[in-house]
Amino acid sequence: MNLVLRLAWRNLWRQPRRTWLTTGAMVFSNVLLVFMISLQFGMYRLMIENSLQAFTGHMQVQAQGYNDDKKMRQTVPDIVPLASALRSQLDSDEVAARATAFALASSEERSYGIAVFGVEPRFEPHVSSIPGLVREGRYLDSNEAPEIVIGKVLARNLRVQVGDELTLLGSGRDGSFAAVVATVVGIFDSGVADLDRTIAEMPLGLFQDVFYMRGSGHQVVVNAPRLGQVAELKQRVAGLLPEDQGLVVQDWDALLPGLKQAIQADISSAVFMYAVLVILVAFSVLNTQLMSVLERTHEFGIVLALGLKPGRLGRLVMLETAMMGTMGLLLGALIGGAVTAWLGIQGFTMPGMDEMGAKFNLPSRLHPDVTIASLLSGPAVVFLFSLLASAYPALRIRRLHPVEAMRSA
């Protein structure tokens, strides 16, 4: 080993208790950071995946401006052939056309305003988890039949069951009166209160007849195999769209800005907490290295007298911190990664999870998701801030005068 490395390493162990305490603070904060970041980003992934899987999808083809102002007239023409073409060109079944309208849904006893979606029964299960969440009856199986599936909360509010009829009243695309009587064939329970209370699905063919859509619809939902591939697929889909129809592709963060904002707000508060933790560790390192430098003032005086330049001495102090930081990083990432991976397999619960689960369709047990980024990002920041903290004692050495330094005890 290089003599300077050996010197730095042995200097660390002149005060083993102090070195272990400082390294321990680094390890503790690194374990905490690995766990928290893995949990946080695991939860975000689940929130996004579950929210998108439930209904919205990774991206939607829409008419320009529809996402900001959902007017019924802003349609995608010939939506079923377009969805079919995309399925074949993308070689994927995860493409489905939809149309949307607001309607008054009336049972024998009550009426509620709801959002009605016309869907392709054959392809909707590939882009939405709702068909798989039908708990009573069945999902739609015909593109024309006067059938409807509704959420569990809506069914309770309207006091209807499978087999009952609902009357829907609304406005057609051309502003005319739209009305239909449909039989409730299924009741779904998504676990997301908003969806279960306000959404109903009917076959797209029936929807287009009732609401005078003339073959058009409002959105073609497209899912990517993984969330990380959305940007790439979005570009591909945009390239496949007919150029003269003013169609655009909106990805999930444009479709659900609230979700992204909620995640950003959560990240901001978490970053503040992490910053406090990192700064505390940095101060611990500063304290250790400052004490270590003050204790060795006499010795530094000697090596300065021998001809070592103050800058090189400063680098020695930084090297000692880097060694301590590397131990903290490796041990922290190792212990943090092992504990988090174990919790990722076992899962665990936290107070308040039920409420959050209901809001974002999350499972009741949490499974942190260890990735290279979650394993190393926190410890790397701790490492860098530790080095930064040791810059002050290192710079202090530059002011040392060999004669005065050698006079100190």
Partner 1 sequence: MTAVRCVDLCKTYRQGDQDIKALDHLSMEVEEGGFVCLSSPSGGGKTTLLNAIGGLDKPDSGEVYIAGERIDNLSKGNLAELRLHRIGFVFQAFNLIPVLSARENVEFVMQVQGVPASERREKSLEILEEVGLEGLEDRLPSEMSGGQQQRVAVARAIVSNPALVLADEPTANLDSKTADGLIDLFKHLNEHHGTTFIIATHDQRVMAYAKRLVRMLDGRIVEEIDQNAA
307 or 351: CB nearest partner 1: 307
The nearest distance, CB 293 to partner 1, in angstroms, is 15
In the complex, the smallest distance separating the C-beta of residue 319 from partner 1, rounded to whole angstroms, is 14
Which is closer to partner 1, CB of 158 or CB of 304? 304
For 116-146, what is the HEC assignment? EEEECCCCHHHHCCCHHHEEEECCCCCCCCC
365 lies in the site for partner 1, by CB under 8 A: no
- The residue type found at 161 is Q
> Minimum Å distance from CB 394 to partner 1?
16
For residue 324, what are the contacts with CB-CB under 8 A and spacing of at least 6? Answer: 12, 19, 22, 23, 26, 285, 288, 386
**Binding residue (CB under 8 A) for partner 1 from 308, 323, 334, 339:** 308
310 binds partner 1 (CB under 8 A): yes
In angstroms, what is the minimal distance from the CB of 311 to partner 1?
8
Q: 3-class SS at 215?
A: coil
Do 286 and 389 meet the contact criterion of CB atoms below 8 Å apart?
A: yes
Candidates 193, 290, 358, 406; binder of partner 1 (CB under 8 A) is 406
For Cα atoms 274, 47, 55, give the angle at the middle one, nearest 5 degrees: 160
Binding residues for partner 1, rule CB under 8 A, total 22
Task: Indicate the residue among 11 and 40 with the shorter CB distance to partner 1.
Answer: 11
Stretch in the footprint of partner 1 (CB under 8 A) among 4-12, 205-213, 286-294, 388-396 = 4-12
Q: Which three-class secondary structure state does DSSP give residue 220?
A: strand
Q: How far apart are CA 98 and CA 213, in angstroms?
A: 11
Picking from 206, 199, 216, the residue whose alpha carbon sits closest to that of residue 129 is 199
The whole-angstrom separation of Cα 119 and Cα 19 is: 65
Could you give phi then psi for residue 251, rounded to 5 degrees?
-90, 180
Among 176, 306, 351, 372, binds partner 1 (CB under 8 A): 306
Q: Please, what is the minimum distance in Å from the beta carbon of residue 44 to partner 1?
A: 48
Which residue from 110, 135, 312, 365 is in contact with partner 1, where contact means CB under 8 A? 312
Site string for partner 1, 130-159 (x = CB under 8 A): ------------------------------
Q: Using the rule CB under 8 A, is 3 a contact of partner 1?
A: yes
- The Cα–Cα gap between 46 and 49 comes to 5
The least distance separating partner 1 from the CB of residue 292, rounded to whole angstroms, comes to 12
Which position among 4, 265, 276, 330 is part of the footprint of partner 1 (CB under 8 A)?
4
In whole angstroms, what is the distance from residue 54 CA to residue 93 CA? Answer: 17
Q: How far apart are CA 70 and CA 77, in angstroms?
A: 16
Neighbour count for residue 361 (Cβ, 10 Å): 22
Q: Residues 265, 309, 354, 395: which binds partner 1 (CB under 8 A)?
A: 309
The 10 Å Cβ neighbour count of residue 91 is 6
Q: Give the range of 79-87, 216-224, 251-259, 401-409 binding partner 1 by CB under 8 A.
A: 401-409
Identify the DSSP state of 53.
I
Question: How far is residue 386 CA from its own chain's centroid?
Answer: 29
Asked if 159 contacts 125 with a C-beta cutoff of 8 angstroms, the reply is no
Nearest to 287 by CA among 21, 4, 5: 21
DSSP 399: T
Would you say 5 or 275 has its CB closer to partner 1?
A: 5
Tell me how far, at minimum, the Cβ of 315 lies from partner 1, in Å: 12
Q: Is 407 in the site for partner 1 (CB under 8 A)?
A: no
Site for partner 1 in 275-304 (CB under 8 A): 298-299, 302-304
The 10 Å Cβ neighbour count of residue 54 is 20
CA–CA dist 188, 199 (Å, integer) = 10
Q: Which window, 97-105, 195-203, 209-217, 308-316, contacts partner 1 (CB under 8 A)?
A: 308-316
Using the rule CB under 8 A, is 71 a contact of partner 1?
no
Part in contact with partner 1 (CB under 8 A); list of ranges 163-171, 218-226, 243-251, 400-408: 400-408
- Choose, by CB under 8 A, the member of 11, 22, 29, 288 that binds partner 1: 11
Residues making contact with partner 1 (CB under 8 A):
3-4, 6-7, 10-11, 14, 298-299, 302-310, 312, 402-403, 406
